[in-house]
Structure 1
Amino acid sequence: MRTIGLGTSGLQVPVVAVGCMRMNALEKREAEAFIQTALEQGANFFDHADIYGGGRSEEIFADAFGMNSNKRESIILQSKCGIRKGMFDFSKGHILTSVDNILKRLQTDYLDVLLLHRPDTLVEPEEVAEAFDTLEREGKVRHFGVSNQHPLQIELLRKYVKQPLVANQLQLSITNATMITSGFNVNMENAAAVNRDGGILDYCRLHDITIQPWSPFQYGFFEGVFLGSDKYPELNAKIDEIAAKYEVTNTTIAIAWILRHPAKMQPVIGTMNATRLQECIKASDIQLTRQEWYEIYLAAGNVLP
């Protein structure tokens, strides 16, 4: 699979990341087969979070992978922390404890990447900086990033945190494309989209922060998958038309649409179906034309000014 640089980390990562949120639903044998398929396809970047399956997803992954020091070097592990029941928590103590527990569940000594999961309005960036320094010094985390953060939230962290923030995980799909749509509607009185994220797309490109789109097939907030949905007949017709041209599935085209953007994004694929994962990985070989990209964008009900 094609690779890209992850921010300024120096890591070369596959353009498709394997999201492990649903791995807690798999039996060990199923998880083993899924992980093996991913690795055979070059998908060796696995995205976790301490809340996925209440921590079980990380445990099942490590057990199914057969984690040991030799095998550990063949994969790239990313996890997230900062969400607690009824609150978000970026305190130093919570970050450090969370990482220790993540490492224990994953049966490893270090994470390649740690992301702060959801913005904590009570964040004290000095504490985040202390936590990151400790984790880096102790060799527990090699690179750091954020998730679901807009530019000023990142700037606040960057004022204190000395480590580069190499990734920002954000919701993006063909139907949930406000970070793109708002960029078309500059200085428009009747703008078709509200700028909800402070220009995060351009900000990340300017600062070499890799955007990792999550829920690349969802519409709304986990309301459903747009592929095959009767809510999006025009979009599905257009995707199917282009899929037939390239002799791939509609799943492949949906991911190829994200990969076509020059921001060099790394979509996080949440499926636990090996066949569908392979269809997503196939998008690495597809280069949509500019016209095809815009046709899909418009077919989703998006408009140009």
Structure 2
Amino acid sequence: MTNANGRGRLIYGCMGLGGPWEGTSYGAGEIDQAAAVIDAARQIGIDLFDHADIYRNGKSEAVFGEVLARSQGLRGQIQLQTKCGIRLQEQGLNNHYDLSREAILDRVNGSLKRLQTDYVDILLLHRPDPLMDVREAAAAVGQLLDEGKVRQLGVSNMSGAQIAYLQDRLETPVVANQLEMSLLRRDWLESTVLVNHPEAATCSFPHGTIEYCMEKGVELQAYGSLAQGRYTGARSSDLSPAESATAAMLQELAEQKDAAPESVLLGWLMKHPAKISPVVGTTNPGRIGACADAAAAAETMTRAEWYGLWVAARGTNLP
């Protein structure tokens, strides 16, 4: 599931498509935006598009489905993944989780209808559900695989132990784990070096998760990988000293490597031996294009440059 160069791949995250989060209606403008974004992503080699049933109240999938319907042959040229397991604004709750058998089947069928496709390449279970009966969830996944509606299974926001527990009941391998990972959100990385150190108490990321995914061949997909533009376009007055220093270092490295800062930022993630696959979520075609050289930036990034960016972002030396 990685590129030929052994690095992870870029994935496009569709959460920004479909207009406002409120309501269920959309128009030609939202469909045209989706078409432009899909084209921009494909121009830099992206062929996996990431969805969730809750994104923009279902509209992200719906506008994407409209583009697929009017673009003959496009579905066969790309891969789709979607997520289920989160319920929003239901039964008097702001949100809750539901990985019951009935919910998995119902939500996937809804996604397929909105996406106007017969199958998704990967289904991700969006968040752990403490009330999940793992046998029921496994049965639902098995049914979807047998029906051809889902081709592979992944998870999101799960620890290595949670994946292992689920995997023990499944007849299909878990192929991906999507987590928030970036130079800004570094708990996934900090946890690997803070063992036997007082700072470990401030790091909530479940230690061993990265190692589990590496050992088992589970693709690590990094959402929030562009750090919401903190290092690549935010006003300097809005940045902390550490963020300003990191942005300046990124710009300097970008000039040296003849690449956009966005590519260097994603290349930092892709340099990691876990072969991390960044999820790019911007709806700006120009910023999507700026990510084109991420794999090349990873290949040319030295150990000193990689550690230099990490230390700059930390704002303090490593332990």
| TM over 0.5, shorter chain | yes
Name stretches of at least 5 consecutive residues in structure 2 with no aligned partner: 20-28, 89-94
1:246-266 deviations in Å (ceiling 9; x for gaps): 122221111111111111111
Partner of 1:268: helix, strand, or coil?
strand
1:83-130 deviations in Å (ceiling 9; x for gaps): 002210000000000010000000000010000001111111001110
Partner of 1:58: 61
Partner of 2:172: helix, strand, or coil?
coil
Distance 1:40 1:236 in 2: 26
Contact 1:48-1:58 within 8 A present in 2 as well = yes
Shift of the alpha carbon at 1:283?
0.9
Partner of 1:78: helix, strand, or coil?
strand
1:204-244 deviations in Å (ceiling 9; x for gaps): 1011100000001337xxxx734335221111111111111
Aligned amino acid, residue 21 of structure 1 = M
Matched, 1:304 2:318: yes
Name stretches of at least 5 consecutive residues in structure 1 with no aligned partner: 6-11
Distance 1:58 1:93 in 2: 21
Distance 1:42 1:194 in 2: 35
Aligned amino acid, residue 212 of structure 1 = Q
Partner of 2:178: 169
Distance 1:140 1:98 in 2: 12
In the superposition, relative to structure 1, how do residues 303 and 4 fare at CA in structure 2: closer, same or farther (>3 Å)?
Answer: farther
Distance 1:267 1:91 in 2: 29
Partner of 1:9: none
Partner of 2:23: none
In the superposition, relative to structure 1, how do residues 193 and 239 fare at CA in structure 2: closer, same or farther (>3 Å)?
Answer: farther
Partner of 1:242: helix, strand, or coil?
helix
What stretches of structure 1 move > 6 A for 4+ residues in a row? none
In the superposition, relative to structure 1, how do residues 258 and 13 fare at CA in structure 2: closer, same or farther (>3 Å)?
Answer: closer
Segment of structure 1 superposing worse, 161-170 or 246-255: 246-255
Matched, 1:145 2:154: yes
Distance 1:62 1:42 in 2: 20
Matched, 1:289 2:305: no
Partner of 1:157: helix, strand, or coil?
helix
In the superposition, relative to structure 1, how do residues 13 and 62 fare at CA in structure 2: closer, same or farther (>3 Å)?
Answer: farther
Contact 2:178-2:222 within 8 A present in 1 as well = yes
Distance 1:105 1:13 in 2: 32
Partner of 2:213: helix, strand, or coil?
helix
Distance 2:47 2:304 in 1: 32
Partner of 2:230: 225
Distance 2:275 2:71 in 1: 32
Contact 1:118-1:148 within 8 A present in 2 as well = yes
Count residues with an aligned counterpart: 294
Distance 2:80 2:135 in 1: 26
Contact 2:120-2:150 within 8 A present in 1 as well = yes
Aligned Cα root-mean-square deviation (Å) = 2.2
In the superposition, relative to structure 1, how do residues 238 and 109 fare at CA in structure 2: closer, same or farther (>3 Å)?
Answer: same
Distance 2:202 2:225 in 1: 19
Matched, 1:17 2:45: no
Distance 1:42 1:65 in 2: 18
Which of 281, 296, 314 is equivalent to 1:270?
281
Shift of the alpha carbon at 1:190?
4.7
Which of 260, 263, 268 is equivalent to 1:252?
263
Which of 103, 110, 128 is equivalent to 1:94?
103
Aligned amino acid, residue 295 of structure 2 = S
In the superposition, relative to structure 1, how do residues 13 and 179 fare at CA in structure 2: closer, same or farther (>3 Å)?
Answer: closer
Contact 1:185-1:193 within 8 A present in 2 as well = no
Which of 28, 32, 35 is equivalent to 2:35?
32
Partner of 1:196: helix, strand, or coil?
coil
In the superposition, relative to structure 1, how do residues 291 and 145 fare at CA in structure 2: closer, same or farther (>3 Å)?
Answer: same
Partner of 1:200: 209
Shift of the alpha carbon at 1:30?
2.4
In the superposition, relative to structure 1, how do residues 36 and 14 fare at CA in structure 2: closer, same or farther (>3 Å)?
Answer: farther
Shift of the alpha carbon at 1:303?
3.5
Distance 2:187 2:115 in 1: 35
Partner of 1:168: helix, strand, or coil?
strand
Segment of structure 1 superposing worse, 283-292 or 129-138: 283-292
Aligned amino acid, residue 272 of structure 1 = T
Contact 1:216-1:267 within 8 A present in 2 as well = yes
Matched, 1:3 2:3: yes
Counterpart mapping for 1:128-139 below 5 A: 128-139=137-148
Partner of 2:214: helix, strand, or coil?
helix
In the superposition, relative to structure 1, how do residues 186 and 37 fare at CA in structure 2: closer, same or farther (>3 Å)?
Answer: same
